[in-house]
Amino acid sequence: MSLTEGKQFHHQTWFVLPIKTYTNALLPFAEMDTLCEYVAETEQPMIQFWQLKNTFILGMKDTRTPDFHKGLQAITQTAFSPVLRNSGGLGVISDDGVLNLCVFFSNKAKNWSIDEAYEWVFQWVKQAFPTLPIKAYEITNSYCPGTYDLSVDGLKIAGLAQRRVKNGISVSLYLSVNGNQHYRGESVRLFYQEALNGEEPEALGYPNVAPEVMTTLSRLKNQELTIDEVQEQLLRPLKNETNIAFTTLEQLPNQEFLQEKILQNLEKMEKRNELLR
């Protein structure tokens, strides 16, 4: 599959926001919502790469566990600090060995179905790592399982999520590059064990996390990959088929709109995260 075939990306330049590590765990989510609206209006496709230090990213569904605050107490026993993202779904881990990215594109010129948007990102990742037999299907015992979990030989390396505003689509992906994936999985398993208060996870619609069904790109490749190397490898298919231009959020046009919207979305994130207190 060509990354430009049949869609609106032919002869378009992709804006790329290179890896940024955030100290405020709320800020990347406020920026992502803002960029989704921005791309919806400008029809400028964009990719944002980002990282968080030792963070347990909770989904809204996690807050509906029978004993959520007991689960939060369990997180304090791990290396991670909790943050509640602005969408549904379930918990994932972000640390120095996990690369997060978000692909933004407009839905104006071509009406993308949910599966089409996921499929485009899946095919892109496959092309970036051609020696790995990456497949997309649900790894039910992973954390945050979904139809477009990316795995090799049944071991999950990445998870996808999608968010939409009017005429705007964002597909986000976490990719486990290196580090202790077993500890990440065990930390999420512990959260559900406590938050579900001993009840069966599947009966309540939560994953029965088995850390052994997840791994990292480095383990699969049998070599220690860096975050920068993986970012570069992900960009190769786009460089081959279209143009990319590195930029920062501060260099984008319409700064007044962007900064105002980021502050508004950050305020929403702060209000949402009051649940953690």
Catalytic residues: 144
Extract the tokens encoding 194. Answer: 């406590």
Element (H, E) at 48: strand 46-52
Residue whose C-alpha is closest to residue 12's, from 37, 48, 43, 52: 43
Judge whether 141 and 213 are in contact, CB under 8 Å. yes
Q: Find the helix packing angle between 114-128 and 227-241, rounded to 10°.
A: 110
Give phi and psi for 42, each to the nearest 5: -90, -20
CA–CA separation, 159 vs 57, rounded Å? 13
Q: What angle do CA 33, 118, 84 make, to 5 degrees?
A: 40
Residue whose C-alpha is closest to residue 187's, from 53, 50, 88, 54: 54
